[in-house]
Amino acid sequence: MFGTAGGTGGSGSGGNGRTFGGSSGGASGSKYNASQGSSQFPGNNNQAPTSVAAVTAVKMTYNGPGTKLYLTLEDHGVMTTCGIPTFDPEMPVVHEFNEEVISTVSMKSKWLDEGLRDLDSTSPSVILRLSPETPNFRISSLGNVEALDINYSLGDVLDSYDSNLLVMVIDTNPFEWEHPSAPLKLNEALQHILAFMNAHLAGRHDNKLAVIASHVGVSKFLYPTPNEMIPGGKVPTKKDANAYQNFKVVNDAVLEGIKRLLADPKPTLEEKDLGSSKIAASLSLGLCYINQTLKLDALGHIKPRMLVLTVSPDSSSDYIPIMNCIFSAQKANIPIDVCKIWGEDAVFLQQAAHITEGIYMRPNDPRGLLQVLMFSYLPDMFARSYLYLPGQDQVDFRAACFCHKKIVDIGFVCSVCLSIFCSFSPVCSTCRTKFAFQPLLNPARRLGVKSGASNPGSPRPSTPTTPSQ
């Protein structure tokens, strides 16, 4: 039990200091009254408790900010005093950004000090330049001895305030996840995926996340929900004191969304035969969401990327939409990472990762999915420049024909719209261009036989000429 004492204690604290004392009774049942002061400390004339050997007392003395905190402990007649140094608290640095800020960077004070020491001491002024382009930070001076420019670039000594936007596309094709030969079930894979999502959000306080489900015949947002996309819209969630609220909101939204998808009537066998999940539609949704987010970011501090987790085979009918998404992502500088959890390589998504400079992997053991996600797909584009990440040894660049939607090695290409066909057609079914193929050379010349005429366009003489003697 603790109480306050107005007088000075044995630690020598002044009258303005605060002293806390306390004790606990022993086996004899004697009690120590905190209002009577500490009985066993020097300088205290109060009467000691009836049983000295059974009393344990403690006193804390603190004279104010910057002074030591003294702890005095007495146990069975043995007294120990300890002084703990304290420091003045430093107020946290709060950056108040407004719309006029173009770029913001931070660096260690040691690096700034070293840069200032290299400047000419005779310089009457020092110019500090900050720019979103390289060099991001420059210190310039002009003195009697020399003119000096010290440049700092992001990645060398500076840290930017850029946040990462990760758009995840999860393949929820029930025909593949429920296959008897599937090495990993959907509910097991979701535990790995949710842990990866939480790790991304924990990497930086302003990291953003969007999750899209690619189902058979439909593609939907799992997070953020449609209500959260509306300005001012919120989704009520139950608070849990044992869980981080941001993690709980994301986990609940993703699990509830997948539960609703699987609760709907299962796709028919005809839909199963038509192709796999709607990867192309999910990529389109993700690119539209990224474009909307970047338009709201006036400072350009959001770095987007996409991650596709798929188990379905390629659908040749989605070749054109997927290639349109690939080229759109390449133009917008949005990398597309692909993780083929199991099965044969996805040809179209393999090309997507190659063209957009993303990562394509097919884990050897799908049960170690979390390890693959954390070590290969968690680092952002800035951190990847310092890491040696797995790449693709070979890329399958085969295309799908526009006529039968089959993947072909050799085909016919329209010279107008670049459509690909597996067999020759006199009319392009895409742009309706008519082809009139006529041989430029006669068969004799194509076989390498020389004709008598020197000019193929001149009339052939009726009688052969004889050489002169």
Residues 246 and 376 in one domain: yes
Identify the residue with better confidence: 396 or 85: 85
The answer to the question of residue 466 being in a domain is: no
pLDDT for res 76: 80
Identify the band that residue 408 occupies on the pLDDT scale cut at 50, 70 and 90: confident
Residues 359 and 432 in one domain: no
| CA distances, 1 to each of 29, 34, 35 (Å) | 15, 7, 11
Tokens at 257, concatenated: 């969304």
**SS3 call for 230:** coil
Which of 52-66, 146-160, 250-264 shows the lowest mean pLDDT across its residues? 146-160
Say what the alpha-carbon torsion angle 10, 15, 18, 20 is, to the nearest 10 degrees: 40
375 contacts: CB under 8 Å, gap ≥ 6:
none
363 touches 369 (CB < 8 A): yes
Residues 331 and 293 in one domain: yes
pLDDT, the chain, mean: 76
Cα–Cα distance measured from residue 157 to residue 142, given in angstroms and rounded to the nearest whole number:
24
Identify the residue with better confidence: 341 or 272: 341
Residues 304 and 418 in one domain: no
Instruction: Tell me which residue range forms the domain holding 64.
Output: 2-84
Residues 140 and 176 in one domain: no
**SS3 call for 220:** strand
For tokens 């040749």, the residue is: 316
pLDDT tens digits, 423-468: 888 888 878 888 876 545 454 454 454 444 444 444 444 444 444 4
Residues 281 and 371 in one domain: yes
Residue closest to 383 by CA, chosen among 133, 159, 195: 159
Identify the band that residue 279 occupies on the pLDDT scale cut at 50, 70 and 90: very high
The answer to the question of residue 125 being in a domain is: yes
Residues 327 and 307 in one domain: yes
The answer to the question of residue 455 being in a domain is: no
What is the maximum span of the chain, computed from C-alpha positions, in angstroms?
152
The answer to the question of residue 120 being in a domain is: yes
The answer to the question of residue 469 being in a domain is: no
The answer to the question of residue 467 being in a domain is: no
Which of 33-47, 104-118, 267-281, 295-309 shows the lowest mean pLDDT across its residues? 33-47
Q: How many domains does the chain have?
A: 4
The answer to the question of residue 389 being in a domain is: no
Q: Work out the average pLDDT over 371-383.
A: 91
Cα 44 to chain centroid, rounded: 63
The answer to the question of residue 75 being in a domain is: yes
